Amino acid sequence: MKKTKKCTKCESTEIFYLESVVDRAHGNNASKLLVGLKNDFWRGKIGGEIEAYICANCGYVEFYLKDPKSLYDSDVAVNVKP
């Protein structure tokens, strides 16, 4: 959906875009959903931000990491294998 702007399940072109995905944690506090999260003393919580594309017709959702290279700055071991 990200590139084609068309749902891969029903082929609808009515697509919603969410710039960030929010998670509700303890005390119902909202925080962005991150991948490869680590705590940095100066910058706080850092990690790869997630964005979402949602089909308005069938409800299918696709999640993408905004900046895949951000995983290299996290505590997650990144291994790319062919």
The one-digit pLDDT tens for each residue of the chain (82 residues) are 999 999 999 999 999 999 988 887 778 888 777 776 666 665 556 677 899 999 999 999 999 988 877 766 655 555 666 6
Please give the pLDDT value at position 8. Answer: 95
- Work out the burial of residue 27: count CB atoms within 10 Å of its CB; fewer than 13 is exposed, 13-18 middle, 19 or more buried: exposed
Could you state, in order of their start, the residue ranges of all structural domains in the chain?
15-73
DSSP 51-67: EEEEETTT--EEEEES-
- Name the 3-class secondary structure at 15: strand
The rounded distance, in Å, linking the Cα atoms of 7 and 15 is 7
Please give the pLDDT value at position 37. Answer: 63
Please give the pLDDT value at position 34. Answer: 72
Nearest to 58 by CA among 7, 18, 19, 4: 7
- Give this prediction's pTM: 0.71
Please give the pLDDT value at position 27. Answer: 80
